[in-house]
Amino acid sequence: MPTAALVGLPLSGRSTVFNLLTGQGVEVSGFATGRTDTHRGVVDIPDPRLAYLTRMYQPRKTTPAQLEVVDVPGLARGASEGAGVGNRFLAEIREVDAVVHVLRAFDDPAVPHPEDRIDPLGDLETVDLELLMADLQVLERRLERLASGKRKPGDEDERALLERCVAHLGEGGSVRSLDLGSEERALLSGFGILTDKPAVWLVNADEGALSGDDARVAAVRARAAEAQVPLVVLSAKIESEIAQLGSEERDAFLADLGVEDSGIDRLAKATFEALGLISFLTAGQDEVRAWPIRRATSAQEAAGRIHSDISRGFIRAEIVAFADLEAAGSMAKAREAGKVRLEGKEYPMADGDIVNFRFHV
C-alpha cells in the first residue's frame, strides 16, 4: 500500500489532521505536545464514481482505493544531527513514498508556536533544511565509500550522479527538482532520499483565511506555484466540526463555505495524485472497487493487481470509461452505443476505466 508521512514542526496540527484523515476522531485535548511515538492509519480516497456504481449495481460491499498515512512527531531544528530523537524520525520518513508538509498559519495564544512566530514559509524552510541536511549526510557518506573502495563497473556514473545531487543540495535545492532520467531515479531509490519524494504542502489556517484573503496563505500559494508542488489550504478546527456532522448537514455546511469537498478530502486526493496514482474500477453484485495503480500501467499489469492468475492468463480487457457509462446510464446502453471496447495486454490503463478482464488459466 502506498504511504505518506505528515511532517512539520510541533503544534502545527499534524495529529489532528491525521485523526481526521484516518477517521480516528479528534483529540479531546486539541494538540499533543512532546509526543515521541509514530502513528499509522489507513485513508480511504474519496471517489464519487464509486457511489454511482454502488447505486447501479447494489453490491455486497464497496471498497475505495486506500493509502497509509504516518504521523511523524514534530521535527525540530537539529533533527538531522539527532536533536531530540531526530534520527529515528528521519528514518521513519525515509520509508514512506510521499511527504505532506503541515504548515501552521493559524493564531491561537493557547497553542504557542515552538519558535514564537506564525510563519508557514519559515516553518517550511526549517523542516526542508533538516531533510536536506539528512540527504547530504547520506550522499556524502556514499561518496566517501566510493572513493576509498575498489572501483567497480558503474561506480563512475554513480559518483557523477551523487556529486551532482550534493552540489544541488548545497545550493538549497531539492533532489526532486533536478531533471533526472528514470535510470538515475532508480539508482537513487535505494538511498531513501528525503527531498526526492513527492510532496504536498498543507496550510493549516484560521477560518477567515479560507476565503483566500490572507497574506501568509498567499505567500505559501505563490511559493507552491513556483515550486510546482500541490497545495491544500484548510482549517483543522473547521474540519473537526465538519467531521461531526451528518451527510446532509455536511453538504449544507460545505455549501455555505462555497466548496464542494472538505479540506481533508482534497488533501487525500492531492496526496494520491502526487504519488502518481490513478484508479481503475471493477463493478458487480459482489463488489464495486477502486484499484490504485501507477499512471501508464499496462492492462496486463493492472490485472495482476487483482490476482496473479488473471495476469498470467490474460486474454483481453473489456473496458468502458466511467464518463461513457455515466452518460449512457447502464452497461447495456453503453454497449449499444459502442462505448465498450476490447483492449490488449499493452493497453495503458486510464483513470476511471471500468474493466472486466477476460483470462484463461
Count of the separate structural domains present in the chain: 2
Domain-terminating residue out of 240, 274, 308: 274
Whether residues 41 and 120 fall in one domain = yes
Residue among 86, 70, 90 nearest 78 (CA): 86
* pLDDT of 29 above 70: no
Does a structural domain hold residue 21?
yes
Cα torsion 127, 122, 78, 144 to 10°: value is 60
Pairwise CA distance, residues 44 & 271, whole Å: 12
Determine contact, residues 169/132, Cβ cutoff 8 Å.
Answer: yes
Domain-terminating residue out of 212, 242, 274: 274
Residue among 12, 211, 220 nearest 104 (CA): 12
Whether residues 120 and 218 fall in one domain = yes
As separate numbers, helices (DSSP H) first and strands (DSSP E) second, the chain gives 14, 12
Determine contact, residues 96/2, Cβ cutoff 8 Å.
Answer: no
Whether residues 263 and 347 fall in one domain = no
* pLDDT of 270 above 90: yes
What CATH number does the domain containing 140 carry?
Answer: 3.40.50.300
Whether residues 175 and 304 fall in one domain = no
* pLDDT of 25 above 80: no
Domain boundaries, position 111: 3-274
Confidence of residue 65 (pLDDT cuts 50, 70, 90): very high
Does a structural domain hold residue 34?
yes
Domain-terminating residue out of 241, 274, 307: 274
Q: CB within 8 A of 186, min separation 6: which ones?
A: none
Does a structural domain hold residue 284?
no
In the chain, the percentage of residues whose pLDDT exceeds 70 is 92
**Average pLDDT, whole number, for the chain?**
88
Confidence of residue 136 (pLDDT cuts 50, 70, 90): very high
* pTM for the predicted model, two decimal places: 0.87
Confidence of residue 221 (pLDDT cuts 50, 70, 90): very high
Whether residues 99 and 201 fall in one domain = yes
Whether residues 229 and 347 fall in one domain = no
Whether residues 248 and 341 fall in one domain = no
Confidence of residue 81 (pLDDT cuts 50, 70, 90): low
Q: Count Cβ atoms within 10 A of the Cβ of residue 260 and give its class: 0-12 exposed, 13-18 middle, 19 or more buried.
A: exposed
How far is it between the farthest Cα atoms of the chain? Answer: 69
Determine contact, residues 146/156, Cβ cutoff 8 Å.
Answer: no
